[in-house]
Amino acid sequence: MLYMVIERFRAGAAPQIYRRFRERGRMAPEGLEYMSSWVDHDFRTCWQLMRAENPALFAPWIAAWQDLAEFEIVPVRTSAEAAEAMAGRA
């Protein structure tokens, strides 16, 4: 299943986030797969597309970063999957 992770950096935390990432990596547990990400120009929000079969895998990953950011995890589907699900309903 795909998830859009909305990561809101705590005020002034961006340098610490990037330093920790350089030193420790993503720190995602086995089975939580990073796909891609986008960061706003003000370094306040990062949107990450991730994949996991078990959403409980987000808990240890968030725990490793929650001192620097707040997280919202949203299950998502591709546009093609959405179109297929809506086929015949419209």
pLDDT digit string, tens, across residues 52-61 = 999 999 999 9
Number of domains in the chain: 1
Residue 56 in tokens:
């409980």
pLDDT above 70 as % of the chain: 99
User: How far is residue 84's CA from residue 70's CA, in Å, rounded to a whole number?
Assistant: 33
CA distance 52 to 60: 13
- What domain range includes position 57? 2-86
Residue 74 dihedral angles phi and psi, to the nearest 5°? -120, 115
Q: What is the pLDDT of residue 89?
A: 80
Q: What is the pLDDT of residues 36-81, one digit of tens each?
A: 999 999 999 999 999 999 999 999 999 999 999 999 999 999 999 9
What is the reported pLDDT for 64? Answer: 98
pTM of the model as a whole: 0.91
List of residues 6+ apart from 63 with CB closer than 8 A? none
Task: Determine the Cα–Cα distance for residues 73 and 75; give it in Å rounded to an integer.
Answer: 7
Q: What is the CATH number for 14?
A: 3.30.70
The model's confidence at residue 90, banded by pLDDT at 50, 70 and 90, is low
